[in-house]
Amino acid sequence: YVSGDIFRINPSFRKIPDSVVIIGGGYIGLETASFLSILGSRVKLVEVKDRILIDMDKEIIDKLYPLLPEMDVYFNNEVKSIEKVNERYKVNLLQDNGNRESIYADAVIMATGREPVFPDGLDKIGIVYDRHGIKVNSGMQTNIKNIYATGDVNGITPLFHAAKRQSLVAAHNIMSDGKLTDYYDPLSVPYTLYTIPQMSYVGITPEYAIRNNIEYTEVKYDLKEDTLAEAFDEMYGEITLLVDKRMKIIGGYAIGNDAGNVINEIALAVKNGLTARDFAEMAHQHPMTFEGLDTAARKLF
């Protein structure tokens, strides 16, 4: 199976297996592993690297990982072959130290990532691209100024809501006769990992800041203090804001209850240059996890 077999309308994957092997520790693999574990499957997740979600900030992922539902994770393992043995599957692994191991399950799900599908003729007309996507500027223009590429095909932010924003940017620039009047900012687009619990981030992350010598201060709100998390008996995770020396909110992340909603307000702050004081002076509604935003920001004053 692949993710489409599970998540499309009228899926072919319709029965929760007693056990499942999921190949790939990226976002599709982790989301699927979370759902199936909660629904009762014994999940075995195989990842070729030494940690899950290798393309995401390690500080954030290290906080998420202990909160995930029960699953066995096989790090540093490459899948060499899959065999059908009676009604089950035998997945043969090669570890990076050369050892071999086989694991068994009632179903196997391939979740090793996606690649853009390019239209025919790119080379013929001279469009610049690589395996990650078609190259565009911040106005969504390719190297041929009257040709635009938006959405997953440019590989910048492969998310549905990012594609909508990119399409608007392209439309505005097309309507202005190719003069750039609108620009796409990938750092202001929120990302949510729909694991259990959710994890969301936007803007500058700690790892990005350190790598690019960006000075920042972190302020945190622990969901153990949160009324809504208490009501749902999900008192784990946190909201963290990253603030620069001008007190502007440059990024943030949330793990736990309502993370996918909370991150939108942080994204709005990043996009519009709001400050920690803007959050600190906001009376967020009670009882909502959004209260954590002003609570965290007030720690700076």
- What are 163-220's pLDDT values in tens digits? 999 999 999 999 999 899 999 999 999 999 999 999 999 999 999 999 999 999 999 9
Give catalytic status of residue 132 as yes or no: no
Please report, for residues 19, 223, 272, the alpha-carbon distance to residue 39 in angstroms, rounded to integers and kept in the order given. 11, 25, 40
Residue range 266-279: average pLDDT? 98
Q: What is the pTM of this model?
A: 0.92
Q: In the chain, which segments carry CATH 3.50.50.60?
A: 3-110
Mean pLDDT of the chain: 96
Looking at the chain, the number of H-run helices and the number of E-run strands are: 10, 14
- Cα gap 104→84, rounded to integer Å: 10
Catalytic-role residue among 132, 161, 172, 286: 286
- Contact indicator for 268, 257 with CB cutoff of 8 Å: no
Which residue type, as a one-letter code, is found at position 66? P
What pLDDT, in 10s, does the model give residues 63-122?
999 999 999 999 999 999 999 999 999 999 999 999 999 999 999 999 987 888 999 999
Residue from 1, 193, 29 nearest 111 by CA: 29
pLDDT at position 257 is: 85
Beta carbons within 8 Å of 59's beta carbon, 6+ residues apart: 205, 206, 207
- Please tell me whether residue 120 adopts helix, strand or coil conformation: coil
Residue type, 266: I
Peptide bond into 116 cis (omega under 30): no
The dihedrals phi and psi of 203, each to the nearest 5 degrees, come to: 75, -145
Tokens of 115: 């690649």
243: nearest Cα among 293, 285, 289: 293
Whether residue 223 contacts residue 174, with contact meaning beta carbons closer than 8 Å, is answered with no
Give the model's pLDDT for residue 130.
95
CATH 3.30.390.30 residue window(s) in the chain: 191-299
Q: What is the pLDDT of residues 28-66, one digit of tens each?
A: 999 999 999 999 999 999 999 999 999 999 999 999 999
State yes or no: pLDDT of 162 exceeds 90.
Answer: yes
For domain 3-110, the CATH architecture is 3-Layer(bba) Sandwich (3.50)
Query: Domain 191-299, what fold?
Result: Enolase-like; domain 1 (3.30.390)
| Confidence (pLDDT) at 196 | 95
Give me the pLDDT at residue 113, please. Answer: 78
pLDDT in tens, 220-270: 999 999 999 999 999 999 999 999 999 999 999 999 989 999 999 999 999
Per DSSP, 212 falls in state: T
* Contacts for 277 with CB less than 8 Å, ≥ 6 apart: 247, 297, 301
